[in-house]
Structure 1
């Protein structure tokens, strides 16, 4: 099976890790240790091997180790579709992070062509009960895994919308000022909307064609303003028609930034927001696994999975089922927990790292090499 995996990772002055190195193979990686030892910081470092701001959405300055604040650096060996890439990611004195792939400077979006990284973190456990922004971000991360250009479309849309909102806030009424911006927004919005719908279709197919211990989620894309136009021409017309309302509000009221991801526990017909905490967690895990299965078919390899405190709200039976599905998928999953007992069902199918904190420094031991 073709694999996507990180087999070497070094961390220098990154968060709690003054200096750390991990060597591993493509199997799942179980990371355990006490709270505050730096386990999630390892997952955050790996999340930066994909486009975007990482699993904490932190600034480069926030990632530097304190009190030194010297900047930080990550290096890694990424195996992707039978090729080995050397990745360097760094920030100097809080500046925006920089990237080199195989010794050549590259934009962050270039990572989307060679890496697919998905994550599930405790902050997402209430995804179905909180605001639409988090659900859009969740859907867009999955869309990005299928369509690397999705990030560029989202950035183009946000940039043009910010400029349009500035005009609206300043009560500019001259239509000539809006035309070009709305055209750029419409072109990007068409791509964003199409990618989101295609992603939902991929996930539906992956869930329907799999035998899994986790519940199926029926997904749909809904919009604050009813049905959203799905072509650039219709979107341009809608933006123009909405200007009077938008001027009164001082912001753009239609577009993909007003969309929401709706989910239903299929077997029960219950909206995800009304499910129990355990059911909500299981639905999230189901979607991550479905995303992995779909990517294995579309990209050619399952994604790297980052599962922080994944055992929370899972009983032993469902925890074992999760590990079985990860291994069957062939994904390199980096998982954290407070103790080795949480990963007992994995046995030798995984590598085991112990992370401890000594004198304010995080220490990493690969127990599989001892």
Structure 2
């Protein structure tokens, strides 16, 4: 199933107030392929970051909310989008406000003007996936970066996964503090470990539910001549391996690892086993080499292929063709791969936002695409 088989919501309007470099913006959109071009620092990434807030988490930059308010503004910010579905339109809003004491409010989230408790509620109307330059070193960087990338992929399918991961990390931090005491309260420690084990197994199981189908889609038809090579993905982690078949057994094994590892973990100041230590291994399918040994261009093409496969998976599982945000994705692709990318995006059926400094990068876009010029917090149709 590709994105065209499900509902394909479209952002028809973006309204910003005091967000990053934008004092105010009211941008109407009609196309499914939207390109934003302008000089570095013009505000292209700021605009797609605003759209990325309509999913659980902190957006594509993983920034603190306070960083998103405009320097010199009144304080706080607001972002709103009008999302057109098959039969109706819904208004989603998010932001923070300046409080009378000078502080900032918690994040506020609304759907058609009605407050909702969490951005996870937006998932009923919009799913979002993205690729940014920060991911270019994913295959050669730290394992923690790959885990965060994996959890971001899961989050597009399961809006509660982020809260699950956060709760697991909090439980481990509580355990670390208890282990600092040479004689910790045993009942309390066992209770914290039971909680961490249950959460860790749930995190691992969610990762495996996503990783298997994603690997199958990424492999696709295994066309070795395709512009975006198929990727062989695998999660290396003991708890994930068990959770793939039995989440309860994974929780019991995690509990045992925590119990047996108390002396070692106390000395290290952290838990040395569990899903927070797992890694994601990716191989360049056609060449059968580890992704970290592929060329820079091949790694970029692998990432694009994974993101496209993920978008198809999100559409298949959720019934919503996800919004796709691609920041500077075409800059390091040759002309053949750019044309192949735009054809693949057009076939996907999703609405896609792309950024690029050079308007020539979008010369291969199909008819009907919208191209905007971004400069000094203003956005206007190009040409």
Q: Which interval holds the TM-score relative to the shorter structure?
A: over 0.9
User: Would the aligned equivalents of 1:169 and 1:251 in 2 still touch at CA under 8 Å?
Assistant: no
Residue in 2 that maps onto 1:331: 350
- For 1:38 and 1:297, the matched residues in 2 are separated by 33
Q: How does 1:1-370 map to 2 (within 5 A)?
A: 1=4, 2-80=7-85, 82-93=87-98, 94-106=104-116, 107-210=118-221, 212-223=226-237, 229-230=242-243, 231-357=250-376, 362-367=377-382
Deviations 1:70-121 (A, max 9, x none): 1110111123565532111111134332111122211122223332111111
- For 1:324 and 1:193, the matched residues in 2 are separated by 35
Query: Any idea what SS the aligned residue of 2:144 has?
Result: helix
- When normalised by structure 1's length, the TM-score is 0.93
- For 1:185 and 1:112, the matched residues in 2 are separated by 26
Q: How many Å apart are 1:5 and its aligned residue?
A: 2.1
Unaligned 5+ residue runs, structure 1? none
- When normalised by structure 2's length, the TM-score is 0.90
State the aligned residue count: 363
Query: Any idea what SS the aligned residue of 1:67 has?
Result: coil
Unaligned 5+ residue runs, structure 2? 99-103, 244-249
User: Would the aligned equivalents of 2:227 and 2:301 in 1 still touch at CA under 8 Å?
Assistant: no
- For 1:247 and 1:154, the matched residues in 2 are separated by 22
Q: How many Å apart are 1:273 and its aligned residue?
A: 0.8
- Relative to structure 1, is the Cα distance of residues 253 and 70 closer, same or farther in structure 2, using a 3 angstrom cutoff? same
- Relative to structure 1, is the Cα distance of residues 234 and 80 closer, same or farther in structure 2, using a 3 angstrom cutoff? farther
- For 2:76 and 2:379, the matched residues in 1 are separated by 21
- For 1:308 and 1:215, the matched residues in 2 are separated by 20
- Relative to structure 1, is the Cα distance of residues 74 and 287 closer, same or farther in structure 2, using a 3 angstrom cutoff? same
- Relative to structure 1, is the Cα distance of residues 209 and 275 closer, same or farther in structure 2, using a 3 angstrom cutoff? closer
